[in-house]
């Protein structure tokens, strides 16, 4: 059997800005699974099972997560 395909897009944005010659700030945003696409498990492969070949509601992917951060350098 073949299971369903999986799609996962991650993204990161970063902006560095110099405030003075020695002081700066870095803003960053990281996101995982930005499309929030679910990835389901494989179908049941037990031939004698009543649910043979069905894909149950098992999810193998994670939900969308976004992390923001700021870093000051001096």
What pLDDT score was predicted for residue 14?
A: 97
Residue closest to 73 by CA, chosen among 26, 30, 28: 26
pTM, rounded to two decimals: 0.65
Q: Per-residue confidence of the chain (74 residues) as pLDDT tens digits?
A: 666 777 789 999 999 999 999 999 999 999 998 988 887 777 777 778 787 877 776 676 678 899 999 999 99
Q: What angle do CA 17, 23, 26 make, to 5 degrees?
A: 35
pLDDT (0 to 100) of residue 11: 95
Using CA atoms, how far residue 34 sits from 18, 21, 28, 31, 64, in Å, is 29, 36, 16, 6, 6
Q: DSSP secondary-structure letter at 51?
A: T
């Amino acid at each position: 059997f073949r299971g369903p395909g999986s799609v996962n897009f991650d993204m990161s944005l970063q902006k560095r800005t110099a405030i003075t010659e020695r002081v700066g700030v870095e803003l960053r945003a990281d996101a995982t699974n930005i499309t929030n696409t679910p990835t389901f498990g494989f179908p049941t492969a037990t031939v004698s099972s009543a649910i043979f070949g069905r894909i149950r509601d098992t999810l193998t992917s994670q939900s969308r997560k976004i992390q923001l951060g700021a870093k000051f350098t001096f």
